[in-house]
Amino acid sequence: SIALLYCVLISIRSKSTNEIILASRILGLLSLTVGCQDIGVEHEILEDSIPRISQALKLDSDPSSLLCLLESLAIVTFVEEYDPQDT
């Protein structure tokens, strides 16, 4: 899962809008799938994703890729902060 994370983060730096959109969706799904099972991995996903997403948000101007990047950031942050004991 960590290897997949780094492949996705590399794709987020891509110039292709479609690749950014797909990578950000994969990042959100990876966060939901892995993060709910392994606390250490969810923290690593958040730590490694924020700088890459922030950089991509500054460089990209396409509204659809910006929206997908923001959605994936929201999902990653939610999974990091989610605590099943609170429910």
- For 45-81, how does the pLDDT look when each residue is reduced to its tens digit (9 = 90+)? 888 899 999 998 888 788 999 999 999 999 988 887 7
Contact 2, 48 (CB under 8 A): no
Q: How far apart are the first and last CA of the chain?
A: 27
Asked whether 24 and 16 are in contact (CB, 8 A), the reply is no
Residue 75 placed within a domain: yes
User: Could you tell me the two tokens for 23?
Assistant: 């990578």
Please state the domain count of the chain.
Answer: 1
pTM: 0.83
Is residue 53, in this structure, part of any structural domain at all?
A: yes
- Asked whether residue 87 is assigned to any structural domain, the reply reads no
Helix, strand, or coil (residue 60): coil
Q: What is the pLDDT of residues 1-24, one digit of tens each?
A: 788 888 999 998 888 899 999 999
**Domain encompassing residue 46:** 1-79
Residue 55 covered by a domain: yes
In a domain, 7, yes or no: yes
In terms of Cβ atoms closer than 10 Å to its own Cβ (0-12, 13-18, 19+), residue 79 is buried
Decide if 34 is inside a domain.
yes
Chain Cα centroid distance, residue 9: 8
Which amino acid appears at position 61 of this protein? S
